[in-house]
Amino acid sequence: MSKTKIPTRVWNKIADFSLSLEVDVEKDVSVSIDGEEIVVKGPKGELRKKFNSRLLDIEVDEENRKVILRVFNPRKFERSYLNTMRSHLRNMMLGVTRGFSKKLIVAFAHFPIRVEVDEKNRVVLIHNFLGEKKPRKAKIIGDSTKVIVKEDQIIVEGISKEEVGQTAANLRQATKIRRKDPRVFMDGIYVLKEG
């Protein structure tokens, strides 16, 4: 059984297949390409996201206010990467126009928890959690992310969906109780509302 080799001129015609998606650029938003980064600027600030230029071709159509994302010879991975980058681009445009926020609640039954923000070191300090003398720390991700503490509520705001979500997850993870029954010890910080 011998393998037949496909001539190059035939293979080039077969391999010339691409899949593209268009994303509408919102009002007051500008999108540009800087090397291997997508730069989205809006009223609230600027976001940058790296992309793989070997997998994805990005074209900005300023006349029609569209961004065209294109992959060549798409297989399952390339199609999923294309859709992922489209979602990232939409989230970036939402972030620079409206922003993202998460509202968390500080719950305690046994020991009163005190929360304070250390802007210099970009951490949130959680004092007296389960009576501990040493404060627990939760890292604030990103330069544009703000953490506001109001009595028993914490509001995390920012323009990057990933940074806001990771900061809220860090707060939740810092107050996770181990080796105790969570039905009895309900102390901690929990996500109340996403917005």
* Fold match flag (17-97 vs 100-194): yes
The DSSP annotation for 55-84 comes to T-EEEEETTTTEEEEEEES--HHHHHHHHH
Choose between 8 and 69: higher pLDDT: 69
Q: Domain 17-97 classified CATH 3.20.10.10?
A: no
Closest CA to 144 of 125, 160, 162: 160
Weakest mean pLDDT among 2-16, 29-43, 63-77, 111-125: 2-16
Q: Give the pLDDT of residue 11.
A: 46
Q: What is the pTM of this model?
A: 0.84
Q: What dotted CATH number matches 100-194?
A: 3.90.930.12
pLDDT in tens, 102-158: 999 999 987 899 999 999 999 999 999 989 999 999 999 999 999 999 989 999 999
Per-domain boundaries in the chain: 17-97, 100-194
